[in-house]
Amino acid sequence: MPKSVTVTLDGKEYTITEKRSRDNAAWRKKLEGPFQDLAGLLESAPGADLTDGQSLANLVRSVSGMLLGSIDTVTGLLAEYDPSLPLADAYDSEILEAFTEVLGLAYPFGSILAKLRTVGSQVKAIQQS
């Protein structure tokens, strides 16, 4: 039974279902170029103290610059994973959250997902304050 996630786009909920292994592998291959720098940054950050404001700010500044500078790439990759998603009317923050959820389907293991979720939560908290 495939896993699924529920995401919100333009205030409406959509369900994205996990692809089969072969299709996930092909999709993951597309991530290699655009996200190698991001992965390197996250791998070098395990010692970052997320409870320290300055450390967190430095990490968020580095990661958000990469992610937000790549919103078109993220949107395209998300559309390739599930072409039925109405991304044209979605907000960037929703697209980034949905992309993070799709990473969980494409990479059902690994520390990068946990790190992205932690950073995503921290970015969201900072944006809301």
Q: Are 119 and 67 in contact (CB under 8 A)?
A: no
Pairing of strands 4-9, 12-17: antiparallel
The pTM (predicted TM-score) of the whole model is 0.62
Confidence of residue 85 (pLDDT cuts 50, 70, 90): very high
Whole-angstrom distance, CA of residue 38 vs CA of residue 51:
21
Alpha helices in the chain (DSSP H): 21-29, 32-43, 53-69, 71-81, 92-106, 111-128
Give pLDDT tens digits for 100-110. 888 888 877 65
Please give the Cα distance from 106 to 95 (Å, whole number): 16
pLDDT digit string, tens, across residues 3-56:
899 999 999 999 999 999 999 999 988 888 776 766 666 666 556 665 556 666
Mean pLDDT across 60-66: 66
